[in-house]
Amino acid sequence: MVHAQLTFEFRWGTQKIIPEKSYYYKGDTIKFEELKAYLSDIYLTQNKELTKISDVWLVDFEDSINELLNVKIQNIKPSSLSFNFGLDSIYHVNMEYAGELDPVHGMYWAWNTGYINFKLVARCSAVKSKNGLLDYHLGGYLKPHRTNRRLEFNYSGSTLILDLLPLF
């Protein structure tokens, strides 16, 4: 068995996002308070053979332990990594609210019966609401509002980066 580790980072351009640190864009200030994302059905591929390394991974920028996914795999040299950004519909309807899927993590919409695939909470000077609060949830698992996406990358390293700057 080989030990493999994946690291997930939220970034603001080239900077790793740190809780409560201020970031700047076009004269505005943004301070991230909460960033979470679900990755699911994570596979490494070698010679067209899939090796599943995780069912569900909840990435939370406030918890450095949740930025790492440690796995033990057979002696393979993977050529690609694939996963769902978000949760497939099966996770929304299986009614097993435990572990990474436990609503205690703040990633479940009780009012709309489903999981939040990506959550961003920040204070932003450009937002004219009370206290400049920006509370963005991306979710939905039924057409036409299905928000999870299957992604595949050449496996060249162990760090996955989500740059939030293009969202602004």
Task: Give the percent of the chain with pLDDT over 70.
Answer: 89
- What is the residue-wise DSSP string for 56-98? EEEEETT-GGGGEEEEEE-S---SEEEEEES--HHHHHS----
H/E stretch holding 15 reads strand 15-16
CA atoms of 62 and 19, how far apart (whole Å): 6
Place 1 in a pLDDT band, splitting at 50, 70 and 90: low
- What's the average model confidence in pLDDT over 47-74? 79
Residue ranges of domains in the chain: 2-12+27-159
What digits encode the pLDDT tens for the residues 119-131?
Answer: 999 999 999 988 9
Q: Which ranges in the chain belong to alpha helices (H)?
A: 89-93
